[in-house]
Structures are given as C-alpha cells and as structure tokens.
Amino acid sequence: MSQTLYRKYRPGSFAELIGQNHIKTTLQNEIMSGQLAHAYLFSGPRGTGKTTVARLLAKAINCKNRKDSEAEPCGECLSCQEIKDGKSLDVIEIDAASHTGVDNVRENIIENARFTPYRDKNKVFIIDEVHMLSTSAFNALLKTLEEPPAHAVFVLATTELYKLPETIVSRCQRFDFKKVDLKILAEYLEKISSQEKIVLHQDVAIQIARLSGGFVRDSLSLLGQILSLGKKEIKSEDAEAILPRMDDEMVANLVEILARKDARGGVEIINQLVEIGVDLENFTLQTIDYLRNLALAKLKVENFLGVLNEKQIYAAAENISMQRILEMTNKFMAVLPVLRQAEMTQLPLEMLVIELAGFESNNEVVLMPNKKEVSRENFLKKKKTEDEGVNKICDEELKYEEIKEEDEVTEQTDFGPVSVSLDEIKKRWGELITGSREFNHSIGVALKTARAVRLDGNSLEIAFEHDFYLERFKDIKMKHLLSQALKKVFGCDLMIKCSKLTEAQKVEITKQREARQAEDDEKLNSVLAGFGGKVIN
C-alpha cells in the first residue's frame, strides 16, 4: 500500500521543516548547548508539525553520530532509523485521547520513566492530545514532571491549550505552533510535486494553500487527491475536479458593484454563478474573506495577504469606505445560515445584493396615509415644493421614512374583529407557507424558520429565527404582502408584529420537531410491521 504524502514527506531533519522558525532555532540552540528542558509543551492547531518536531527532538538528542556543534540528527544510525519507523524502545508515543485514565499514565509513563533507557541516552515520552487526560491522570503526571528522572524528556502536544491545568503548563517549556505562511506552503507543494515527477502549476499550488488555511497536513492531503488524477501536469482546469472553485475575480467584481450600489449588476453576477454551478455558500465565504482583506488593507496591516494580489487589494480598498466594508461583511455573515436552508439557493443572496445596493426605482409605489398610491419621485417633488428650505434629497428621504412609519400605524388601526385563534394559526402554519408563495416566494422560505408566538386582538406577533428575515419583514411592503397571505388563508385582517425567537422558544420548537419525527417513525414502524417490510437506506 502506498504511503500518503504527509507520511511519505514527513521532515526527517530540522532543515526540511517549513515554517515554525522561532521554534526550530530555539530547539537547535538547546540541543547544541546540551541545555535541554525536562518537559516541553507544543501547542497549536492541527497539522502544523507538533508531533513531527517532537520526533525530530527525540532523534537529535539520541543520535549516535551527531556532533556536539550540530543540531541535526544523522538519520542513518540505528537510533534514528528506529525512531523514524516508530520501533524505538526509548521513544514512547502515547495517544492521550485513547489513554485518558490515571492507570494508563501510571503504567505507560510513571513506571516506565523509572527505568533507564534501553540503549539510547534519553528516554523520550511524546504525549499527543494531552488535554484529553482526566484530572486524576494530570495529578499523577504532575509529580513526575516536578521531579523527573535525569534521563527522561517529556513532550506534551495539544490543540486545546486552555484545557490543560496551569500546574502542568507552568512546569513545561512552552512553544506555540502557527499556521504556515501561504506563499511558503505553496512553494513547498510545488517542490513535493516535483519530487513526485509531476508539474504542478503555481495557481493550483496557491489554491491548495488557501483552501488548507496554512495547515501543512491538510494541504498535502488535498495535493494527494489531485495527484491521484494520474496526470503529469496539473493545471487549474484539472484541479477543478477535486478542489472547490476560487472565484476571486467574480468576488472582486461583486464587491465593486455593491460599492457603487448597482443592484442589477449584482443580481446578474449571482445568476451567472448559479448558471456555471458555483457553490454559493463557498462563494459567500470567499466574499467575506475578500472583505476582510479590504479592511486590513485600509488599516495598512502588513503581511496579511499571503498569496493574494496585493496591488489589486490595495487598489480596491481605495474605492470603498471602511464603514461600507463592515456593513457588507456583517450582512454576508448573517446570510450564511439562511443560505444553507433556502429552497431557492440564490434567493437570499439576491435579496442581500438588492438590500446592500440600496435599490430604488422611480416607479416604486409609496403607500400614503390616505391610502393613495403615488410614486416616490412625485412624493419627493411635492414635499420639496411645500418646503422651499429643503435643498438636499437625503432630508426628503428621511421625511419619507417617517411617512412610512405613520403609514404603518394608520394601516394597523383599520382592522375588524378577528375570527381565528392562535392555536388555529399554529396548526395551519404549513398551509400559510404554501399559500404565501402566491404573493412572494421569499415569504414562504422565511416562514419555514418562523413561528406565530402571540395573538393580541388583531395583532399577530411572528418570531423569526434569523436576523436576516427579521430585518426583511420590518419593511412595510413585506408586511403588507404577508397580511394578504394571512387574510387569504384565515379570512381576516391581522396586524403584523415581528420579533426574534427566544432561546426558550427555539428549544420548544426543537422538541416539537422531535415529537413529530417520533410520531412519524412510529407510524412508519407500524406500517412496516403490518406488511413485513423494512427501511432500505
């Protein structure tokens, strides 16, 4: 069986280690000076080289051929070979995730540490995922760390440093591992491909580095998938079969369009993405990352772009304000959970684009308090004539918003008696979802994650799970369409009040869903029992 790339190309010396130069330099100096700590703590995210460095340290301090003036292990002596193959009796690797109890610590570490090394100079204990140990196991390990045998060296590795007791952390020499710079990682991937006698185009290496987020093991796993295509030259079009699309140009175009408030252009881009089969959730994440880079460029933060086009980012940042960047970032982050549940995948993004563009049409209808329909343009002209002191259109827009609020109040006082109960509304909620699509498809999508929570006279309170839809239904036109749908289904006029679902209401809804699921399962089991059938997954 062939080895995976991250095992095949695991660094065998400090020179082969990429990134982590701050750790590498310190350890090499300690090895050459002979001033080793008795316990090391390696913390950091997955796939950044914690276990690899622990093994390199073990090889270096036990290598038979290493000179005192050098830090690199020879890699050829018996000790180096056994450590590389995981067969050394003097290097004990323990997975704390599967050996969490105090008995395992006593047997595998404490008792073992008392004996002198079998052949090497030092006995090295590498404890991976050490944060998984139980409290009693930590207490048992603590005494050994306080008074370790002269021949024992402990290396604790963890991805969740905060879970370790301070008493353990304080007795170790701590090193924090970081994600590898994307440029360095991309060059490393090209080098590995070259060793595999495959030409990897630079743009593909960059894409892999970005998708892996700076984690070496993740990047090598992705590279292994691409190399499995069996081609001698890997271009971007070849990599698309494995990797998610990185639509940097379309992301930049969309942000530029939204910056100049072009709603039509934004919607056209969203529809182009759908036509070519782009994953809209992944595209949204790319947009958020691009907006982050714009914000950092505005702040003149250095060395944050990795492999991105710095000139393009800085040029784009000049044409957009920080306030606009923050607004767009918050909106795109808020639409992510909605996007995952939408029946029409592009609809939430289309609505968001229109909202961010501040779309206004001269033919848009304004509902005045007297129930007459006039265009926004005529309304503004009329108000401007009445008040000669008003010179700025933004002041008129403010008055328009105030009229909208008055209009909402006026509309809500004209309802007659209500002939429906809250229980009936809840019971027929699915009917409302279906019927509302006649007026606006997005209403039905929003109502799927909303609930009627209170009916006070003719005032119906609807609580939404997502902020995105809550904001949408604060608009008077959306409320008006929803009122029409309610009237069609329940035969009466209702005033709409919008709110956010509380945590208690979310819990109650979850219980109701689980109860319905259990009821459906029971019915299904009853049918299966009657006919002697079974469910085929």
d(CA 376, CA 390): 16
The C-alpha R_g of the chain, in whole angstroms, comes to 32
Of the candidates 254, 264, 311, the one whose C-alpha atom is nearest the C-alpha of residue 288 is 254
| 7-53 pLDDT, tens digit each | 888 888 898 888 888 899 999 999 998 889 999 999 998 888 899 99
Of the candidates 85, 81, 51, the one whose C-alpha atom is nearest the C-alpha of residue 65 is 81
3-state secondary structure of 367: strand
d(CA 390, CA 179): 57
d(CA 170, CA 159): 17
> How confident is the model at residue 304, as a pLDDT?
61
> How confident is the model at residue 393, as a pLDDT?
35
CATH annotation of 5-176: 3.40.50.300
Q: How far is CA 318 from CA 13, 294, 387, 465, in A?
A: 45, 9, 38, 37
Entry field: residues in the chain: 537
Residue 123 is encoded by which pair of tokens? 């006995």
Residue 24 is encoded by which pair of tokens? 């590498």
- Intra-chain end-to-end CA distance of the chain, in Å: 32
Q: With contact defined as beta carbons under 8 Å apart, do 101 and 115 qualify?
A: no
d(CA 320, CA 294): 9
Residue 424 is encoded by which pair of tokens? 């009936």
* Residue type for position 14: F
d(CA 415, CA 432): 20
| pLDDT under 70: residue ranges of the chain | 1-3, 244-246, 302-309, 359-417, 441, 516-517, 520-521, 523-537
Topology at the third CATH level for domain 422-501 = GMP Synthetase; Chain A, domain 3 (3.30.300)
> How confident is the model at residue 1, as a pLDDT?
43
CATH class of the structural domain 182-239 = mainly alpha
3-state secondary structure of 280: helix
Positive/negative CA dihedral, 17, 19, 20, 26: positive
> How confident is the model at residue 531, as a pLDDT?
59
> How confident is the model at residue 63, as a pLDDT?
92
d(CA 236, CA 207): 9
Of the candidates 29, 27, 31, 21, the one whose C-alpha atom is nearest the C-alpha of residue 41 is 27
Of the candidates 289, 275, 286, 290, the one whose C-alpha atom is nearest the C-alpha of residue 245 is 286
Residue 50 is encoded by which pair of tokens? 């914690």
Q: What is the DSSP letter of 501?
A: P
d(CA 182, CA 218): 13
d(CA 351, CA 168): 52
Topology at the third CATH level for domain 248-357 = Zinc Finger, Delta Prime; domain 3 (1.20.272)
Residue 396 is encoded by which pair of tokens? 């008129």
> How confident is the model at residue 306, as a pLDDT?
53
Across the beta sheet with 495-500, the strand order is 450-456, 459-464, 495-500
Q: Full-prediction pTM beyond 0.75?
A: no
DSSP string, 123-185: EEEEEETGGGS-HHHHHHHHHHHHS--TTEEEEEEES-GGGS-HHHHTTSEEEE--PPPHHHH
